[in-house]
A = this chain, B = another copy of it.
Amino acid sequence: MSAVLDDRVDDDLWSAIGDPTRRRMLDLLLSEGSGTATSLSDRLPVTRQAVAKHLVVLDRVGLVHASAVGRERQFRVDQAQLARAVAQLTDVGAAWDTRLQRIKRLAEAIEHGVSEKDRERGPRR
């Protein structure tokens, strides 16, 4: 019963969506289809340069892609990569959830005077 859940987690991808500003940026890009560093900074409490740096990070992990349009650089979300990130979120969430549930079941079992061994034979998964 060791720490297995982190094995299938891409730390780069996770830390990319770990930043609150980047999360809001992804959110904005999703709801508006596309955006530039300038347009995004208009709706965020940070400067254009900060947004630009975040876009570099998001681009590096493949969550967004840029297309040059004249002097502008339009960014849009890579659906497949975001879907992968979402899968990781739910994966970790599910793993912890089962752990919590098991602890809860165990606590109840002990409270009812049932030995740990007896409970251990229950539905494994």
Task: Determine whether A66 belongs to the interface, using a CB cutoff of 8 Å to chain B.
Answer: no
Bound-complex Cα distance A1 to B19 (A): 22
Q: Is the CB of B92 within 8 A of A96?
A: no
When all copies of this chain in the complex are counted, the total is 2
Interface range on chain A (Cβ under 8 Å from partner)? 35 or more
Task: Determine whether A49 belongs to the interface, using a CB cutoff of 8 Å to chain B.
Answer: no
A82 CB, min distance to chain B CBs, angstroms: 6
User: CB < 8 Å: which of B6, B28, B79 contacts A20?
Assistant: B6
A92 CB, min distance to chain B CBs, angstroms: 6
Bound-complex Cα distance A93 to B3 (A): 22
Chain B residues positioned under 8 Å from A86 (CB to CB): 93, 96-97, 100
